[in-house]
Amino acid sequence: MNEVGSKNYLKNFYGRRVLRIFPLYYLLLFICLVILPIFPPFKDNLHYYTSNQVWLWTYLQNWLYVFNIPEDTNVLLHLWSLAVEEQYYLIWPFVILLIRKPKSLLALSLLLLIGIVIFRLILWQRHIEGFHYFGLYTFTRFDGICIGSALALLRIISPKLISLYTAPIILSIAGLNFIFYFANKNNNFAFPYLAFVGYTTFAIVFAVLVNEAATLDKNFITRILNIPFLRFFGKISYGFYIFHWPIYRFVSPIIVNYLTKEFSIDIFYSQIIASSITTLIGLAISIASLYLFEMKFLKLKKYFS
């Protein structure tokens, strides 16, 4: 928001984000949609994604999953959230450039939030066949985008406002969840909690925590976030997000099968061991990715500042 009036606003905004997000994302797609399907062990597991790959190459897979969620594979299912993020990055900078006034943008964010909640309820009443209401529901995740945008704008308009009302905000969220629980109980828990109030209230809580961490120089949250390990994990977090799930889905079954057959280890413990091993593999690959691949592009961000 503070950079709107600066020279090359859009060029710098999109240049930095493209360099951070696109290279690793498209590297994963190239591996999973071009290279791995050549080999028979991977072909069936990736057939859904190769058949619908245009959605992934264009960052639209979140809509694909809402109407046509894969039943037999979820290797690349985690990428839905990145699609939502990119769609936000595509639209919001132009909205800021068009409106510019923080209070007007705040009002728009809140109106969009209210509108999407109402729209979600209307969709639920219609019970559209094949519509994925309970999980990868783009409209629920739009709440977090609206709330995050509202938080950024509030910190410009009135930096101390959220801190002054933190307790009432948290109590209101708790009350809303309490009311929803009993309303859902009276309807035999037919309503999807996360899609109706869960994601919205979680987003508000995290917005309050982010505000507290950004407002105070030294507090419990900032001390935790400044732990060296967490700071380093933040650097590799994007790579870990990209790689961790495909690694787990491809490697974990092999480890579990080996442990149960060769060592007769119980399936539950085999899965725990497999999860631990694949997590370590994911971390190692994320570290290698940062220094051997991502940094080559991140160094170019200096040309967009």
Q: Domain limits of the chain?
A: 228-304
Burial annotation 270-283 (CB, 10 A radius, 16+ → b, else e): bbebbeebbeebbb
Residue type, position 114, single letter: I
Task: Specify the pLDDT at position 217.
Answer: 61
pLDDT per residue as tens, the chain (305 positions):
556 666 788 889 999 999 999 999 999 999 999 999 999 889 888 999 999 999 999 999 988 887 787 777 889 989 988 998 899 999 998 999 899 899 999 999 999 988 888 887 787 777 777 666 665 455 557 888 899 999 999 989 988 888 888 888 889 999 988 898 888 888 888 777 777 788 788 888 888 888 877 776 666 667 777 788 888 998 999 999 999 999 999 999 999 999 999 999 999 999 999 999 999 999 999 999 999 999 999 999 998 88
pTM above 0.75, yes or no: yes
Of the candidates 2, 215, 186, 174, the residue with the CA atom closest to the CA atom of residue 93? 2
Closest CA relative to residue 210, chosen from 172, 155, 156, 146? 155
Residue 65 contacts residue 82 (beta carbons within 8 Å): no
pLDDT at 9: 82
What's the confidence (pLDDT) of residue 134? 60
The span from the CA of 269 to the CA of 272, in Å, is 5
100 neighbors 4 (Cβ within 8 angstroms): yes
Token reading at 287: 């570290």
